Structure 1
Amino acid sequence: MGNESTARNIIGQGTTINGDVELNGDFRIDGKLIGSIVSLGRIVIGPSGVVEGNVTCQNADISGRLKGKLITQDLSSFKSTADFDGELNTARIAIEVGARFNGKCEMKEAVSKADERIK
């Protein structure tokens, strides 16, 4: 069996899920999720993806729509097709030209996974 921390999960286009999701690996949303996400990995919201709820993860790549609070331990990346409405708490941020960012941003120091395990 593969390592759980490298597991990849997907919500496909045309799929809607209502509820909270907790996972150890990466997660890609091309459909719609209404609820919160907590992940130790990377969250990708594809161009057709919609998330209405709070997201907590290591890194986030947003190309679709996110309405809620985004907390990343490292990098939050907003692609040119991103549509963000909410609060952001991150160590690093990248916003491409064309992205829509409407909200509040708070910057913090990056915390590596190794540092978190030591605590």
Structure 2
Amino acid sequence: MASNFNDRSDTSSQGIINIVASGTKIVGKVTVESDFRLDGEVEGDIIGRSKVVIGESGNLKGSLTCTNAEIIGKVKGNVKATDSLTLRSTAELTGDVKIKSLIVEPDAIFNGTCSMRDEHVTKTPDPAPAVKNVK
């Protein structure tokens, strides 16, 4: 099938992955629409609309916001994933996370707090106020 450069269809459905190779350093905010893999270093925030992988040689010093995150390398910053966060056995994460689901392999390092939202849990209503007898 021939590729058409004028085709503006969704890149994530085409399997396009943005890669920052080992030995590459980016300073500043990174915004990506399709899957993203970091094997180099980023000093700044990463905002992705799809899956973000921090590879074994990857090092992020900043926050990460995405749909799904997989950390194999190092992250020093907060992580917000609207779906899942996976910490592989070589992962080192220092920061707070807000996620829907969390997978942690043995030997992964996580120093921070974890907040998981559960849309299926209903809030318990506040109790009715006490009634006073007035004379």
The equivalent position to 2:98 in structure 1, one of 64, 81, 89, is: 89
Q: Give the alignment's Cα RMSD to 1 decimal.
A: 1.3
How far the C-alpha of 1:5 sits from its partner, in A, is 3.2
Q: How many residues align?
A: 110
Question: Identity, % of aligned pairs?
Answer: 37
Superposition TM-score, scaled by structure 2 size: 0.78
| 2:11 aligned partner | 4
- The code of the aligned residue for 1:37 comes to I
Give 1:47's aligned residue: 56
Gaps spanning 5+ residues in structure 1: where?
111-119
Offset, 1:108: 1.0
Q: How many Å separate the matches in 1 of 2:61 and 2:85?
A: 17
Q: TM-score, normalised by structure 1?
A: 0.88
Partner residue, 1:116? none
Give the match for residue 113 of structure 1.
none
Aligned to 1:30: 39
Extract unaligned runs of 5+ from structure 2. 120-135
The match for 1:114 is none
Cα distance, 1:55 vs. partner?
Answer: 0.5
2:113 is aligned with 1:104:
yes
Residue 81 of structure 2 is aligned to residue 72 of structure 1: yes
Select the structure of larger CA radius of gyration: 2
Deviations 1:9-42 (A, max 9, x none): 0100011110101111110000000000111100
- Structure with bigger RCO (C-alpha 8 Å, 6+ apart): 1
Instruction: Give the match's secondary structure for 2:95.
Output: strand
Higher strand residue share: 1
Stretches of 4+ aligned residues off by more than 2 angstroms:
1-7
Deviations 1:79-105 (A, max 9, x none): 000000001000000000000000011
Cα separation, 1, equivalents of 2:21 and 2:48: 18
